């Protein structure tokens, strides 16, 4: 997943700034396309999905793992689901069972 700057260039991960946290700038990429395809295949069962960023706080608390930061947002009730390069189910089950990271 990536975003573009005002000139249309892809923003490299190491240069993510305020654009990353701006929901008015859409995410793009294969994961977004994949989820949109699933929504189409669902024939209305999945009516909408909002693509947003991890919270600033979870990114500060877990600076070395975007995966763990995303799961933290689920645990904190900020989002219902998160997508990352790794499957989040196993860690999510552990958090639910043990109550914390």
Instruction: Flag whether pLDDT at 89 surpasses 60.
Output: no
What is the predicted pLDDT for the residue at 93? 61
* 10 DSSP β-pair partners: 4
Q: What are phi and psi of 10, to 5 degrees?
A: -70, 135
For residue 85, the enclosing domain spans 54-101
Q: What is the pLDDT of residues 14-58, one digit of tens each?
A: 887 888 889 899 999 888 888 888 889 988 898 888 888 888 899
Are 70 and 33 members of one domain? no
pTM, two decimal places: 0.66
Element (H, E) at 44: none
What is the predicted pLDDT for the residue at 88? 47
Are 58 and 34 members of one domain? no
Are 40 and 63 members of one domain? no
Are 70 and 24 members of one domain? no
Are 44 and 68 members of one domain? no
What is the predicted pLDDT for the residue at 97? 59
Are 75 and 61 members of one domain? yes
């Amino acid at each position: 997943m990536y975003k573009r700057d005002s000139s249309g260039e892809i923003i490299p991960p190491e240069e993510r700034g305020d654009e990353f946290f701006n929901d008015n700038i859409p995410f793009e990429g294969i994961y977004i396309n994949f989820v949109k395809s699933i929504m189409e295949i669902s024939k209305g069962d999945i009516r909408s999905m909002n693509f947003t960023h991890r919270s600033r706080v979870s990114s500060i608390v877990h600076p070395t793992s975007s995966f763990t930061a995303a799961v933290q947002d689920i645990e904190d009730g900020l989002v219902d689901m998160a997508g990352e390069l790794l499957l989040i189910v196993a860690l999510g089950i552990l958090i639910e069972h043990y109550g914390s990271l």
